[in-house]
């Protein structure tokens, strides 16, 4: 069985030659007569160059086929094989990876499990980011949590940059926020999921995650590209860590943004992230605040959904873009807003309500312009961020 990888090369390179270099150099390599007796066994581990296609812009895409037996079914050994030291050899960008259906780690919850866990169906989830990240004490964070949870928010996550601080140690912050969540639950009947940012040294992370879950954490946020794919897979496979894990894409730009190097975003945050064990994956929306191509967003969305992983388009999401998100995603999506909720003119609670108002209007087929909306949270949001027809 093979793993197929498509590499894009600039026009000036000999793509066919590079494909041969990859097929041999990233697998069994070459050997001489000293290993003649082992030639058959070595041959089984050699890669093979595949199809070569020239694009209209002059770039070339070469396929290389790698033996599945050369990897361990995880992301780390896969990355080492398909790019490894070759990634330092010059221009080359991985634009597609085709893996066996069962390759990688499956999510514990994913789209279906998140629906079952929360009891939310027939609409997108609404998520906020706990801001300001630094400078607040646990009780101050808890005050914000109480407000958004009471407003009906589905998910709340820590900012990915929030680490253990003297003013807000994670266990104290979790305890204060859990109390606020339970207080809101007594009013709404629903328990908001709060994804605590998991940070620390690799030898501490799994045990720390277990402890947070025991202390009441009902979700986790993890910066996979910073802390490691293997750590993510270990967290997802651990039966004691029985809560959803949200994959944050911090550092993805350093790996994907260059036109002739690294990975296509849809490979890193789609194909690979979908096999990491994460239940939901965050990434930029093409109509958000970061430069992101709609084709890459679509590729990520498709790859995630094939593996039952929840897509979370992010960065610059506000109520005014809800019609566009629904048109692109339907209902199986998380509307993840930072400033779009926390910087609402009437406060974070109103920010949450503005999203639900927007969803109700979209479901009813009503316009989303400032003039067409009654006074209230949504109208204030549209005044600040704009909207669509």
pLDDT score at 267: 98
Mean of all residue pLDDT scores within the chain: 96
As a whole-number percent, the residues of the chain with pLDDT over 70 amount to 99
C-alpha torsion 28→85→299→8, nearest 10: -90
The yes-or-no verdict on residue 18 having pLDDT over 80 is yes
| Mean pLDDT confidence for 285-311 | 96
As a whole-number percent, the residues of the chain with pLDDT over 90 amount to 94
At 226, is the pLDDT very low, low, confident or very high (cuts 50, 70, 90)? very high
Q: Where are the domains of the chain?
A: 2-98, 110-385
The yes-or-no verdict on residue 253 having pLDDT over 70 is yes
The yes-or-no verdict on residue 334 having pLDDT over 70 is yes
Domain at 110-385, CATH from 3.20.20.110, 3.40.50.300, 1.10.287.3510, 1.10.443.10 = 3.20.20.110
Catalytic residues: 85
Of the candidates 180, 176, 179, 160, the residue with the CA atom closest to the CA atom of residue 168: 176
| Mean pLDDT confidence for 232-253 | 98
β-pairing verdict for 2-9 and 92-98: antiparallel
pLDDT score at 348: 98
Q: Tokens in use for 131? A: 């801001």
Query: What are the pLDDT digits (tens) for 137-155?
Result: 999 999 999 999 999 999 9
| Mean pLDDT confidence for 95-119 | 98
Of the candidates 356, 281, 283, the residue with the CA atom closest to the CA atom of residue 314: 283
Class of domain 2-98: alpha beta
Tokens 């406060």 sit on residue = 347
pLDDT score at 292: 94
Q: What is the CA radius of gyration of the chain?
A: 23
pLDDT score at 388: 65
Spell out a b/e string for 110-133, using b for 16 or more CB atoms within 10 Å of the CB, else e: bbeebbebbebeebbbbbbbbbeb
Query: What are the pLDDT digits (tens) for 61-91?
Result: 999 999 999 999 999 999 999 999 999 999 9
C-alpha torsion 342→347→351→352, nearest 10: 100
C-alpha torsion 316→322→323→325, nearest 10: 70
In CATH terms, are 2-98 and 110-385 the same topology? no
| Mean pLDDT confidence for 236-248 | 98
The yes-or-no verdict on residue 389 having pLDDT over 90 is no
Query: What are the pLDDT digits (tens) for 177-194?
Result: 999 999 999 999 999 999
Euclidean distance between CA atoms 363 and 381, whole angstroms: 18
| Out of 20-24, 28-32, 269-273, 344-348, least confident range | 28-32
pLDDT score at 340: 97
At 336, is the pLDDT very low, low, confident or very high (cuts 50, 70, 90)? very high
The yes-or-no verdict on residue 44 having pLDDT over 70 is yes
């Amino acid at each position: 069985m093979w793993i197929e990888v498509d590499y894009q090369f600039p026009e000036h390179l000999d793509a066919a030659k590079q494909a041969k270099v990859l097929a041999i150099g990233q697998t069994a390599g070459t050997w001489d007569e000293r290993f003649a007796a082992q030639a058959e066994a070595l041959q089984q581990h050699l890669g093979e160059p595949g199809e070569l296609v020239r694009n209209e812009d002059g770039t070339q895409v070469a396929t290389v086929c790698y033996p599945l037996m050369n990897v361990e079914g995880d992301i780390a050994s896969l990355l080492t094989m398909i790019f490894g030291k070759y990634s330092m050899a010059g221009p080359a960008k991985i634009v597609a990876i085709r893996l066996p259906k069962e390759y990688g780690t499956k999510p514990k919850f994913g789209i279906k499990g998140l629906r079952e866990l929360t009891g939310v169906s027939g609409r997108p989830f609404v998520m906020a980011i706990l801001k300001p990240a630094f400078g607040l004490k646990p009780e101050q964070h808890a005050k914000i949590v109480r407000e958004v949870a009471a407003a009906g928010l589905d998910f709340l996550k820590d900012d990915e940059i929030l680490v253990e601080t003297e003013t807000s140690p994670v266990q104290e912050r979790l305890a204060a926020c859990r109390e606020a969540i339970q207080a809101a639950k007594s009013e709404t009947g629903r328990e908001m999921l709060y994804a605590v940012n998991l940070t620390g040294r690799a030898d501490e992370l799994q045990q720390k995650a277990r402890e947070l879950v025991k202390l009441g954490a009902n979700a986790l946020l993890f910066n996979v590209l910073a802390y490691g794919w293997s750590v993510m897979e270990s967290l997802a496979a651990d039966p004691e860590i029985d809560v959803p894990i949200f994959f944050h894409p911090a550092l993805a730009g350093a790996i994907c943004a260059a036109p002739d190097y690294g990975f296509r975003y849809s490979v890193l945050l789609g194909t690979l992230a979908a096999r990491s064990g994460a239940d939901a994956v965050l990434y930029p929306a093409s109509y958000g605040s970061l430069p992101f191509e709609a084709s890459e967003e679509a590729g990520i969305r498709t790859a995630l959904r094939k593996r039952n992983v929840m897509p979370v388009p992010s960065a610059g999401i506000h109520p005014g873009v809800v019609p566009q998100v629904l048109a692109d995603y339907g209902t199986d999506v998380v509307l993840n807003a930072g400033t779009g909720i926390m910087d609402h003119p009437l406060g974070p609670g109103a920010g949450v309500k503005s999203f639900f108002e927007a969803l109700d209007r979209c479901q009813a087929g009503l316009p989303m312009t400032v003039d067409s909306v009654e006074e209230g949270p949504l109208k204030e949001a549209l005044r600040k961020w704009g909207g669509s027809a």
